[in-house]
């Protein structure tokens, strides 16, 4: 009999799904109408869970799976899993560190350029048939230059470093904040987030959200200032979204590029009409290349855990 696996989010790579189906009996919870009833029926047989970074798994669900041997997060953010709880249970929780670094960093820079250069607003201007009606150049406000912007990065992990490399290639002075100084990077460390924001033209969030809920609030946005841009490719909950909406509405910051939100898939309605905001639907790791690499890492973690080995990518065991 094939081991039984519970999958909480879809995987969009056919080759990964084929391998999953060949090796396991896969229960796709997201396809079930009555999920509680489904868990009551199948929970006792589940040996592995595959979930997304944003979805994670609740302690209550872990408790309903007595045969569980691994939670494989198809992502790098583990803020939606109680790691201490899993550790106490001796349960490996794995993540796909390294697989998505380049694509997430690419989108961070893409969102920053899109926002400061008004790429999305310009696209809408043409699609809405506005150019022939307003052919004079003054119909579109002048944009802001990205090259040379002072970029402040919050979180100098793998993704933060990849963003820094890219920003540096555009001639941007890079500084960062983190829980500690990183002695192996050439960028300026700023201990305090408010100071970093006040010294940056663009503040880019690339931090883990485990203990950093709401760190970007009205005070930090005011320090970033009316010429400053906020980019978030990490987690929505790093930002106080009400403060962000208000700062954008009042022109207290220049714009924002956002891939993540507090209550996905719900996006604050005020943002939808703002031309200085570029939006993405949590897509930073969503390329064929990265999702294939992530899926292979998930498959490895399942294989190792179900063979009784400690998964290489385990954070808890
Ligand atoms: C993914 C993420 O979109 O890595 C993460 O933590 O949030 C994203 O890369 C998600 O995990 C896909 O399932």
Q: Mind listing the pLDDT tens digit for each residue in 24-82? A: 999 999 999 999 999 999 999 999 999 999 999 999 999 999 999 999 999 999 999 99
Instruction: Identify whether 282 is a catalytic site residue.
Output: yes
Among 45-49, 125-129, 210-214, 298-302, the least confident range = 210-214
Angle between helices 101-116 and 288-306 (to 10 degrees): 150
Specify the ligand 1 atom closest to the Cα of 11: 13
Task: Tell me, rounded to whole angstroms, the distance of Cα 237 from its chain centroid.
Answer: 11
Instruction: Identify whether 303 is a catalytic site residue.
Output: no
d(CA 70, CA 267): 32
Specify the ligand 1 atom closest to the Cα of 104: 9
Ordered structural domains, the chain, with CATH: 4-99+288-306 (3.40.50.720), 101-279 (3.40.50.720)
* Average pLDDT across the chain, whole number: 97
Q: What percent of the chain shows pLDDT beyond 70?
A: 100
Q: Do residues 38 and 32 lie in contact, with contact meaning Cβ atoms separated by under 8 Å? A: yes
Q: What is the pTM of this model?
A: 0.96
- Ligand 1 in reach of 76 Cβ (< 6 A): yes
- Ligand 1 in reach of 282 Cβ (< 6 A): yes
pLDDT for 137: 86
pLDDT for 46: 98
Ligand 1 centroid–CA 96 distance in Å is 9
């Amino acid at each position: 009999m094939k081991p039984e696996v519970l999958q909480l989010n879809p995987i969009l790579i056919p080759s990964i799904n084929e391998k999953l189906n060949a090796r396991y009996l896969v229960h796709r919870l997201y396809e079930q109408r009555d999920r509680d009833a489904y868990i009551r029926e199948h929970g006792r047989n589940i040996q592995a869970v595959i979930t997304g970074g944003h979805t994670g798994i609740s302690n209550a669900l872990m408790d309903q799976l007595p045969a569980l041997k691994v939670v494989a997060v198809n992502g790098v953010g583990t803020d939606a899993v109680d790691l201490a709880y899993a550790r106490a249970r001796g349960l490996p929780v794995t993540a796909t560190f390294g697989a998505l670094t380049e694509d997430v960093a690419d989108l961070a820079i893409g969102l920053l350029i899109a926002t400061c250069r008004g790429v999305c607003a310009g696209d809408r201007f043409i699609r809405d048939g506005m150019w022939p009606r307003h052919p004079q150049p003054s119909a579109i406000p002048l944009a802001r230059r990205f090259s040379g912007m002072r970029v402040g990065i919050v979180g100098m992990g793998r993704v933060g470093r990849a963003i820094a490399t890219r920003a540096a290639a555009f001639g941007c002075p890079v500084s960062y904040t983190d829980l500690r100084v990183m002695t192996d990077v050439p960028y300026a460390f700023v201990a305090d987030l408010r100071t970093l924001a006040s010294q940056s033209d663009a503040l880019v969030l690339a931090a883990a959200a485990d203990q950093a809920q709401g760190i970007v609030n009205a005070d930090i946005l005011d320090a970033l200032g009316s010429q400053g841009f906020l980019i978030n490719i990490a987690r929505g909950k790093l930002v106080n979204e009400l403060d962000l909406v208000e700062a954008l509405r009042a022109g207290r910051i220049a714009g924002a590029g956002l891939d993540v939100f507090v209550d996905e898939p719900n996006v604050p309605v005020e943002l939808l009409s703002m031309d200085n905001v570029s939006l993405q639907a949590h897509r930073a790791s969503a390329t064929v290349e990265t999702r294939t690499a992530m899926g292979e890492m998930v498959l490895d973690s399942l294989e190792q855990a179900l063979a009784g080995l400690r998964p290489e990518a385990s954070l808890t065991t």
